[in-house]
Amino acid sequence: DPLMRHQGEKVLARLLENGYQAYFVGGCVRDEIMGRPVHDMDIATSAKPEDVIRLFDHTIPTGLQHGTVTVVSGDHVFEVTTFRKESEYEDHRHPSSVEFVERLTEDLQRRDFTMNAIAGDGEGRLTDPFGGREDIEAGLIRCVGDASERFDEDALRMMRAVRFASVFAFRPVKSLWSAMRAGRSKIAFIAMERIRTELEKIVLGPYPVRGLAMLQRSGLLKYVKAPVPQAALIPFSKTEERSSWIAALERCSPDRPEIRWSLLLQALDVTGDESAILMKEWTFSNAAAQMAAALVRFDELWSTVKLSGMEERLKRQSWIELQLAFGKAVAANWLLRQETLLGVLSSDPTTHERLSLLEQEEAKWHEEVVIHTLQELAVTGGDVMQHLGKRGGPWLGELMNRLLLGAAAGDWANERETLLEHAKVVVNDNGTS
Alpha helices in 103-207 (DSSP H): 104-109, 132-138, 147-153, 156-168, 174-183, 192-203
Minimum CB–partner distance for residue 258 and ligand ATP (Å): 22
Sequence-ordered list of residues with C-beta below 8 angstroms from that of 88, at least 6 positions apart, any chain: 95, 96, 97
Q: CB neighbours (10 Å) of residue 190?
A: 21
Determine the residue with CB nearest ligand ATP. 27
Q: Which is nearer to Mg ion, 116 or 218 (CB)?
A: 116
Q: Which is nearer to Mg ion, 41 or 247 (CB)?
A: 41
Applying CB under 5 A, does 27 fall inside the site for Mg ion?
Answer: yes
Positions of E strands within 39-170:
42-45, 59-63, 68-73, 76-82, 84-90, 94-100, 119-120, 126-127, 140-141
Residue span binding ligand ATP (CB under 6 A) among the ranges 61-69, 109-117, 300-308, 381-389: 109-117
From ligand ATP, Mg ion, none, interface partner of 111 (C-beta below 5 to 8 A by class): ligand ATP
Q: Which is nearer to Mg ion, 84 or 184 (CB)?
A: 84
Q: Which is nearer to Mg ion, 41 or 384 (CB)?
A: 41
Task: Convert residues 33-72 into a mask of x (bound to ligand ATP by CB under 6 A) and - (unbound).
Answer: ---------x------------------------------
Distance CA 213, CA 162 (A): 10
Short-list 77, 149, 155, 157, CA closest to 116: 157
Residue span binding Mg ion (CB under 5 A) among the ranges 8-16, 25-33, 115-123, 231-239: 25-33
Which residues inside 15-34 make contact with ligand ATP, applying CB under 6 A? 26-27
Minimum CB–partner distance for residue 27 and Mg ion (Å): 4
SS3 string, 262-314, reads: HHHHHHCCCCHHHHHHHHHHCCCCHHHHHHHHHHHHHHHHHHHHHHCCCCHHH
Q: Which is nearer to Mg ion, 27 or 145 (CB)?
A: 27
Q: CB neighbours (10 Å) of residue 3?
A: 10
From Mg ion, ligand ATP, none, interface partner of 92 (C-beta below 5 to 8 A by class): none
Sequence-ordered list of residues with C-beta below 8 angstroms from that of 235, at least 6 positions apart, any chain: 213, 216, 217
Minimum CB–partner distance for residue 43 and Mg ion (Å): 12
Applying CB under 6 A, does 154 fall inside the site for ligand ATP?
Answer: yes
For β-strands 140-141 and 171-172, DSSP reports them as parallel
- Using CB under 6 A as the binding criterion, the count of chain residues that bind ligand ATP stands at 10
Query: Which chain residues interact with Mg ion by CB under 5 A?
Result: 27
Query: Which chain residues interact with ligand ATP by CB under 6 A?
Result: 26-27, 42, 111-112, 116-117, 154, 156-157
